[in-house]
Structure 1
Amino acid sequence: MKKDRKVVLDTETTGMNFTGCFYENHRIIEIGAVEIINNHITGNNFHSYIFPERSIDKNAFKIHGISSNFLSCKPKFSEIIVPFLTYLDNSDLIIHNAKFDIGFINYELSMLKLNVKNISENCNIIDTLSMARKIFPGKKNTLDSLCTRYKIDITNRTIHSAIYDAKLLAKVYIFMTNFQKSLPIFDNNVFENYLSKKAYSKHARSKILLATEHESISHKNYLKYMMNISGKCIWLTE
Structure 2
Amino acid sequence: MEFIKDSHLVIFNAAFDLRFLNAELNRVNYPSTVSDICAEVTCAMELAKSKFGVRKISQDADCLRYGIDISSRTKHSALLDAYLCAELFFKLLDDLVEPLKSTPQQNKHTPTKAISIPSAYKNK
Verify same fold: TM over 0.5: yes
Does residue 96 of the first structure (1) align with residue 12 of the second (2)? yes
Runs of 4+ aligned structure 1 residues displaced above 6 Å come to none
Say yes or no: does 1:129 pair with 2:36: no
Find 2:71's aligned residue among 152, 155, 164: 155
Secondary structure (helix, strand or coil) at the match of 2:41 reads: strand
Distance 1:131 1:148, change over 3 A: same
Q: Which whole-Å deviations, capped at 9, do the CAs of 1:182-230 have from their partners, x for residues lacking one?
A: x6xxxxxxxxxxxxxxxx6xxx5xxxxxxxxxxxxxxxxxxxxxxxxxx
Alpha-carbon separation, structure 1, partners of 2:27 and 2:54: 39
Match of 2:115 in 1: none
Deviation at 1:90, TM superposition (A): 2.3
Alignment RMSD (CA, Å): 1.7
Give 1:77's aligned residue. Answer: none
Higher relative contact order (CA 8 A, sep 6+): 2
| C-alpha distance 89-164 of structure 1, shift in aligned 2 (>3 A) | same
What is the aligned length?
A: 97
Looking at structure 2, the residues matched to 139 and 152 of structure 1 have their Cα atoms a distance apart, in angstroms, of 21
Say which one has the larger Rg: 1
State how far apart, in whole Å, the 1-side matches of 2:78 and 2:28 are. 22
Q: Distance in 2 between matches of 1:107 and 1:139?
A: 26
Contact 2:4–2:37 (8 Å) recurs in 1: no
Do the aligned partners of 2:10 and 2:41 also contact (CA within 8 Å) in 1? yes
How far does residue 177 in structure 1 lie from its aligned partner after superposition? 0.7
Partner of 2:34: 119
CA shift at 1:141, angstroms?
A: 2.2
Cross-structure match for 2:83? 167
- Equivalent position of 1:108 in the other structure: 24
CA drift of 1:138 comes to: 2.5
Which amino acid in structure 1 is aligned with residue 37 of structure 2? N
**Counterparts in 2 of 1:155 and 1:139: CA distance versus 1, 3 Å:** farther
Which letter does structure 1 place at the counterpart of 2:33? N
Q: Which residue matches 1:142?
A: 58
Structure 1: where are the runs of 5+ without partners?
A: 1-84, 184-199, 205-238
One-letter identity of the residue aligned with 1:108:
E
TM-score of the two chains, using structure 2 as the length reference: 0.71
Distance (Å, rounded) in 2 between the aligned partners of 1:140 and 1:100? 14
Quick one: which amino acid aligns to residue 155 of structure 1? S
